[in-house]
Structure 1
Amino acid sequence: MSTQNRIRTRLTELTGIEHPIVQTGMGWVAGPRLVTATAEAGALGILASATMTLSQLEHAIVEVKTRTDKPFGVNLRADAADAMDRANLLIKYGVKVASFALAPKRELIDKLKENGAVVIPSIGAVRHAEKVAAWGADAVMIQGGEGGGHTGATPTTLLLPTVVDAVDLPVIAAGGFFDGRGLAAALAYGAAGIGMGTRFLLTSDSAVPEEIKQRYLAFGLDGTVVTTKADGMPHRLLRTEFVNGLEAGGRLRQLLPTIRRSVQFKELSGQGWWEFARDGLSMKRSTGRSWSQMMLAANTPMLLKAGLVDGDTRAGMLAAGQVVGVIDELPSCEELVDRIIDEAVVRLKAAAGTVVA
């Protein structure tokens, strides 16, 4: 962290970070290496725990804490059968932030807050923000349709102001952010900071294989597609040959590979069949997915691992936001965060200078 510029917001006050920037919890990407680099840069790094066993999550938390004394967070799956066990790990090690991809149960929010954690669910609609605000969430992250991975249809520029107007909480804006202009714009809308996934994936500190990063850099603004063929829910992915094949294929063609990869993920997660089934039932109840969609959802972690960890785009998929089309280099997290803050300060001062009292 080298920039002398500072932007204070409700988010920096709430979490103790230096800069109002969040590195989102991307499965297979947001591990100890990236989270540590983000924290050391003064932003908020979020460990992705959904693709970790309970033991792996504990080791990851310990590793980050041995590398940095800066605040960081962990993203939890609210519908996981062992969500409370994972929350207890955060409490045990004094992790500052608990983030959630789905609305956590009220008792989970209460447990974390009672033990000093900051609770930040991700939401995709005003009604979701109002619900978690009533349950005691400390802040919310919205993701507009430009974002990668599971996404909605409403663009950030419309979702952000409606949520800011609806709840009296710090709102973090995600979906389409990559530079200081975006941070300045989000602050002007009333946000307390921005969240970025693809932009942090495409840094030198990311553990994603170099050849995969270069694949990302080669895509333009039309390089992503939102498909339900991956796991039954809208999912923004790079237009790789594999994803194009998914789009063209029917359900019968998907069935056997889906079952095979579901078994692979069960083995990788260390779960027994009963635990695996219980976890799936918990997810089904919380999301309302059909059983066929659940089979596809169980397939997703292994498809992402094949692309993001193993570097095999012929058998895997790569989540990406639309910002992939405007990124052309791989800075360190420190270089990226410093650049964003410095540019945002310039933009905000310039905008303020145009105001006529």
Structure 2
Amino acid sequence: METSFTRLVGVRYPIVQTGMGWVAGPRLVSATANAGALGILASATMTPGRLREAVREVKSRTDAPFGVNLRADAGDAGDRVRILVEEGVRVASFALAPSRELIAELKAAGVVVVPSVGARRHAEKVTAWGADAVIVQGGEGGGHTGEVATSVLLPQVVDAVGVPVVAAGGFHDGRGLVAALAYGAAGVAMGTRFLLTSDSTVPDAVKARYLAAAVGDVTVTTAVDGLPHRMLRTDLVDSLEGAGRTASLVRALRRAAGLRRVSGLSWSRMMRDGLAMRHGRDLTWSQVLLAANAPMLLKASMVDGRTDLGVMAAGQVAGVIEDLPSCAELVERVMAQAHATLHALPAPGAPAPEAPPSGAPTL
């Protein structure tokens, strides 16, 4: 299935595996790429040295294009961009709008720039700066999210920009891909669905918690870092929401120290990143400090398997996912269902199917 997005990035299918922290490592990214979709490596919790190693590991596992997700507001974003350029990475993905200068540097090196956005005005801004495509996440999506549903946000962005738009938030099968295409998107991006594959390195016990969740078990909370964060409802989430300010700040300081050890960042660099995070947002200094909770709370679950100590970011689709296919099986299934759905759609002007006789069973 060829779209403007597949032509832009050089993949066979209009499907993106998102850059999930602690989840989208070399194994998952290369498995996605080998399946014909675009895998995106999550780098925010890696040191620059580890990022280079991870990129080279993906390249040793696949010859297909893949991308790397970067934090645009990180103090060392420029250094990480240079690693992508030097290592020949095809796509740079950003969770926040990159600067005009970063976009220009990447494009000059032939790297495709695909920021993620949550509002039409953000899409208009980054495309005016030269972004080659955008990933648009509606409120159904996991992790940091907004309030506008994909079905409302997606067509707004499609109508506003002249670059390929990839839809995210609420997608897990071929029917969703067809729906996104009907809205004008050039593909879909999925996070939770790829997290719940056999190629994902997330511990089996954590995957079991996701598979057992119903749609009502996925909630949005600001208790983790002061920003709306969609995740599974757990006892820990309840306790975070009920904790007082002092206890929350002590916990945040402890986990900020843990993040510093894992990421290799200095305290001064973390403070600069905190200033960048606060810029343009209505966050108190307490909320900026609490933001250090998120990476370590995610690591506790996604890496260490401690669902009692960590949080589990999740899109609402977690409540309807029931199995753990490989990435190859998942992509094949999505594409087969998409083609079957398109084939089953009535042709324009075709007569409506006859109603069954009265009393006859319906399917």
Residue number in structure 2 paired with 1:84: 78
Q: Which runs of 5+ in 2 are unaligned?
A: 351-363
Residue number in structure 1 paired with 2:360: none
User: Does the 8 A contact of 1:148 with 1:198 survive in 2?
Assistant: yes
Residue number in structure 1 paired with 2:249: 255
User: Does the 8 A contact of 2:15 with 2:37 survive in 1?
Assistant: yes
In the aligned structure 1, how far is the partner of 2:70 from the partner of 2:164?
A: 20
Residue number in structure 1 paired with 2:51: 57
**Any idea what the Cα deviations from partners look like across 1:235-275, whole Å, max 9, x if unmatched?**
00101111111122232221211111111111111122222
The answer on 1:28 being equivalent to 2:16 is no
Residue number in structure 1 paired with 2:40: 46
In the aligned structure 2, how far is the partner of 1:229 from the partner of 1:172?
A: 29
Q: Which runs of 5+ in 1 are unaligned?
A: 1-6
**Any idea what the Cα deviations from partners look like across 1:4-28, whole Å, max 9, x if unmatched?**
xxx1100100000000000000000
Residue number in structure 2 paired with 1:8: 2
Across the aligned residues of Structure 1 and Structure 2, the Cα RMSD in angstroms comes to 1.0
* Aligned partner (choices 331, 339, 354) of residue 347 of structure 2: 354
In the aligned structure 2, how far is the partner of 1:189 from the partner of 1:80?
A: 34
User: Does the 8 A contact of 2:224 with 2:294 survive in 1?
Assistant: yes
* Aligned partner (choices 134, 141, 144) of residue 140 of structure 1: 134
Residue number in structure 2 paired with 1:179: 173
Residue number in structure 2 paired with 1:105: 99
3-state SS of 1:222 partner: helix
With the length of structure 1 as denominator, give the TM-score of the two structures: 0.96
In the aligned structure 1, how far is the partner of 2:315 from the partner of 2:56?
A: 30
Aligned pairs for 1:59-208 within 5 A: 59-208=53-202
**Any idea what the Cα deviations from partners look like across 1:16-43, whole Å, max 9, x if unmatched?**
0000000000000000000000000000
In the aligned structure 1, how far is the partner of 2:180 from the partner of 2:335?
A: 13
User: Does the 8 A contact of 1:145 with 1:151 survive in 2?
Assistant: yes
Once the two structures are TM-superposed, the CA of residue 285 in structure 1 deviates from its matched residue by 2.4
With the length of structure 2 as denominator, give the TM-score of the two structures: 0.95
**Any idea what the Cα deviations from partners look like across 1:140-170, whole Å, max 9, x if unmatched?**
0000100000000000000000100111110
Amino-acid identity (%): 62
User: Does the 8 A contact of 1:25 with 1:75 survive in 2?
Assistant: yes
* Aligned partner (choices 297, 314, 322) of residue 320 of structure 1: 314
In the aligned structure 2, how far is the partner of 1:164 from the partner of 1:282?
A: 29
In the aligned structure 2, how far is the partner of 1:274 from the partner of 1:186?
A: 43
**Any idea what the Cα deviations from partners look like across 1:314-353, whole Å, max 9, x if unmatched?**
11100000000000100000000000001101111222x3
Residue number in structure 2 paired with 1:234: 228
In the aligned structure 2, how far is the partner of 1:286 from the partner of 1:105?
A: 14
Judged with a 3 Å threshold, the aligned counterparts in structure 2 of structure 1 residues 79 and 287 are, in CA distance, closer, same or farther, namely farther
Instruction: Determine which structure has more spread, i.e. the larger CA radius of gyration.
Output: 2
**Any idea what the Cα deviations from partners look like across 1:40-85, whole Å, max 9, x if unmatched?**
0000000001111111101000000111010000000000001011
Residue number in structure 2 paired with 1:4: none
* Aligned partner (choices 205, 210, 213) of residue 211 of structure 1: 205
Could you list the structure 1 runs, at least 4 aligned residues long, displaced by more than 6 angstroms after superposition. Answer: none
2:191 corresponds to which letter in structure 1? G
